[in-house]
C-alpha cells in the first residue's frame, strides 16, 4: 500500500480477504516503524481497524458457507 497515493485507496468493503490482510500487515509494519506523525498514525490505525474487521467478516462468511455445505457433519479440529 502506497501511503502517498491515499486518493487511490480502494474502499475496505471492496477488498478480498487476501488484499485486506496484506494491507493490514503493511500498516502494522509502518506503525511499528514510528516514522509518521501522530495524525498519519491515527489515520493508519483507523484503516487498520477497518481492515481487521473486514477480514473477520470474510472469515465468518467463509465459515458459515463451509458449515452450510458440510451440514451437521462439521467437526471441530483438534491437533494431536
Look up cell 490505525; give the residue.
Answer: 45
**What's the CA gap between 26 and 44, in Å, rounded?**
10
Cα end-to-end span (Å), the chain: 39
**pTM for the full predicted model:** 0.74
Which burial class, exposed, middle or buried, applies to 42 when counting CB atoms under 10 A from its CB (0-12, 13-18, 19+)?
A: exposed
Look up cell 498514525; give the residue.
Answer: 41
pLDDT number for residue 7: 54
What's the rounded mean pLDDT across residues 24-38? 94
The winner for highest mean pLDDT among 3-7, 35-39, 64-68 is 35-39
Q: Domains plus CATH for the chain?
A: 9-70 (1.10.287)
Reported confidence tier of residue 79, pLDDT bands at 50, 70, 90:
confident
pLDDT number for residue 61: 93
Amino acid at each position: 500500500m502506497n501511503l502517498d497515493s491515499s486518493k487511490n485507496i480502494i474502499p475496505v468493503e471492496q477488498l478480498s480477504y487476501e488484499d485486506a490482510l496484506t494491507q493490514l500487515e503493511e500498516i502494522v509494519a509502518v506503525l511499528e516503524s514510528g516514522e509518521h506523525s501522530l495524525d498519519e498514525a491515527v489515520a493508519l490505525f483507523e484503516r487498520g481497524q477497518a481492515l481487521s474487521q473486514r477480514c473477520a467478516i470474510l472469515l465468518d462468511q467463509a465459515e458459515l458457507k463451509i458449515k452450510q455445505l458440510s451440514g451437521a457433519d462439521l467437526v471441530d479440529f483438534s491437533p494431536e
